[in-house]
Amino acid sequence: MESHENRPSNPLPWRCFGFEDACKSNGYLSIPKDLADIMYHLDREGTEQDLESAESRRLAVDCVIREAIASAGISGVNISDRAAKEFLRSGRAPMGGEERLLAGMVKSMEEMEEVRELSPAMLGKLNGLILRDAGKERDLSGETEAAARTEELCGLANGGSGGAFIHPFVRAAAVHYWLLRERPFADANGRMGRLLQSWLLRREGYSLFRYLPVSAEIQETRDEYPGVSGRRDPGELAEFVRFSAKVIRNSWERWRNDMEAREERMRNLMRSGGGFAALNPRQQAVVEHALRNPGTTYQIRCHQYCHGVTHQTARDDLFGLADRGLMKIGKDGREYRFTAVDDIKPQLQSAEKRVRRPAVIEEETLPTSLL
């Protein structure tokens, strides 16, 4: 990202973050240049990531899945990426503690999409959803100090700042930090903090965070995840805000590079002629993925979930690829599974010229799509 040289470095009052007793010098936090840069670019570009609807849905689903897996992994959930993605895309009921925690993360993210303001009650519900134990969330009403601090967090998340402007990025990082510092719940405080940080930025109009699995970047640099002492230390908060800026900058750059690489692959496929251009965007996404991931199989309900279409539309998409000779059809019990033919590239060249229904093959052990 380019630097914006002439941007003022506005200070933020510590009292906005509950540090009245720990203010340094004049009680203000200066904004370092690297942090000012990320805020500038978020304001300039982070609200303009409205993609074409089919692509937007696919990327948003991918973000939810990757975010759930990474956030659970940071918290010590022991499950492989492949197994986790297979479960989350399958739509089946969770089996075992790891799958219940993953399902809880996804459910909590979906729940937060409808929330506009945070409250102590919503925090408790969110904690219950993450832990898949909604009837036993911690009741804060009888704990005066904890309840007051939770009210303070909700006020900060909802925009309260004692009359001072706080950039949404700094506000979101402070909310994340607050949960790590105060730990109002017995478990899942870190997961809640990471979830609320992204939620707050989406709520403030930064559509970019529909597609950035920020926890995946944190997982990559977890050795740098700042320690939180539990004390009201302004220096610790400042370090955490800067760490959040680095994580978001790296995640954004990785996402942008991935998008550019995918767009180039799609352009090359379009230029190659044959039947690719005749496919609909969802089918093109499957073919592009299959070319990069030989041996992957695709299920109707997974395709339906990833692209936000009806079961019949998803079925027509995958059987349409089979009719063009691009997919083999297998069955696992009553469920159809589709896998790309071994010679999919030459088949793709002639796919627009011949349509046939390949014979059904029986296959029990093919991996689930990782689209």
* CATH for 314: 1.10.10.10
pLDDT for position 230: 56
Looking at the domain assignment, is residue 265 inside a domain?
A: no
Residues 177 and 218 in one domain: yes
Instruction: DSSP letter for 78, please.
Output: -
| 318: confidence class by pLDDT, cuts 50, 70, 90 | very high
DSSP state of 280: -
Please check whether residues 153 and 202 belong to one and the same domain.
Answer: yes
Q: Does any domain span residue 263?
A: no
Boundary residue ending a domain (230, 258, 286): 258
Tell me: do 235 and 300 sit in the same domain: no
Each as own residue / partner, the long-range contacts of residues 204-210 (CB below 8 Å, 24 or more positions apart, any chain) are 204/168, 205/47, 206/42, 206/46, 206/47, 206/168, 207/46, 207/47, 207/48, 207/49, 207/50, 208/42, 208/45, 208/46, 208/47, 208/49, 208/252, 209/46, 210/49, 210/56, 210/59, 210/60, 210/63
Q: How many CB atoms lie within 10 A of CB 64?
A: 18
Q: How many CA atoms, within 13 angstroms, populate the side-chain half-sphere of residue 225?
A: 19
pLDDT given at position 339? 92
| Nearest-angstrom CA–CA distance, 224 and 337 | 42
- pLDDT for the residue 161: 59
CATH number of the domain encompassing residue 169: 1.10.3290.10
Cα 153 from Cα 176, distance rounded (Å): 10
User: Distance between CA atoms of 336 and 50, rounded to whole angstroms?
Assistant: 33
What's the Cα-to-Cα distance from 115 to each of 112, 125, 183, 202, rounded to whole Å?
5, 12, 22, 11
Same-domain check for residues 324 and 198:
no
Q: Are 28 and 12 in contact (CB under 8 A)?
A: yes
| pLDDT on residue 144 | 62
Q: In the sheet where 297-299 sits, what is the strand order?
A: 297-299, 335-340, 327-332, 360-362
**Are 220 and 307 part of one and the same domain?**
no
Which amino acid belongs to residue 251?
S
Tell me the C-alpha distance between 265 and 50, whole Å.
Answer: 21
Please say whether the beta carbons of 66 and 283 come within 8 A: no
Q: Please say which residue of 258, 284, 310 terminates a domain.
A: 258
Q: Would you call 113 helix, strand, or coil by DSSP? A: coil
**H-helix or E-strand spanning residue 168:** helix 168-182
CA 166 to chain centre: 24
Is 46 among the domain residues?
A: yes
Rounded alpha-carbon distances, angstroms, from residue 312 to 26, 56, 157, 184, 303 = 64, 21, 41, 46, 11
Range of the domain at 343: 274-362
The residue with greater pLDDT, 252 or 149, is 252
- The pLDDT tens digits for 224-268 are 776 655 566 667 787 888 888 888 888 888 888 888 888 898 888
What pLDDT, in 10s, does the model give residues 274-283?
788 889 989 9
**pLDDT of 200 strictly over 90:** yes
- 97 with 224, same domain: the answer is yes
173 is written with which tokens?
A: 């990082």
Shared-domain flag, residues 233 and 192: yes
* pLDDT value at residue 242: 84
- Amino acid at the residue 349: Q
Q: How far apart are CA 202 and CA 200, in angstroms?
A: 5
pLDDT digits (tens, 9 = 90+) for 94-113: 888 888 888 888 888 888 88
- Residue at which a domain ends, from 258, 291, 322: 258
- 44 lies in some domain: yes
- Please indicate, yes or no, if residue 4 is contained in any of the structural domains: no
Concatenated DSSP letters of 176-210: HHHHHHH--SSS-HHHHHHHHHHHHHHHTT-GGGG
Beta-carbon contacts of 42 under 8 Å, excluding residues fewer than 6 positions away, are 169, 201, 206, 208, 248
pLDDT, residue 134, reads 43
pLDDT band at 71 (very low <50, low <70, confident <90, very high): confident
Residue 264 counted as domain residue: no
248 shares its domain with 281: no
pLDDT of residue 326: 92
Place of tokens 């304001």: 43
Lowest mean pLDDT among 13-17, 297-301, 305-309, 338-342: 13-17
Axis crossing angle, helix 53-74 with helix 281-292, rounded to the nearest 10:
40
- Kindly report which listed range (174-183, 185-194, 301-310, 360-369) carries the lowest average pLDDT score: 360-369
Question: In the prediction, which pLDDT does 234 show?
Answer: 62
User: How many domains, the chain?
Assistant: 2
Verify that 156 and 282 share a domain, yes or no.
no
What pLDDT band is residue 180 in, cutting at 50, 70 and 90?
Answer: confident
Model-wide pTM > 0.85: no
313 with 190, same domain: the answer is no
Question: Is the pLDDT confidence value at 54 over 80?
Answer: no
Assigned domain for 236 exists? yes
Are 146 and 224 members of one domain?
yes
Instruction: List the beta strands (DSSP E) in the chain.
Output: 12-13, 28-29, 297-299, 327-332, 335-340, 360-362
If 0-12 CB within 10 Å is exposed, 13-18 middle and 19+ buried, where does residue 99 land? buried
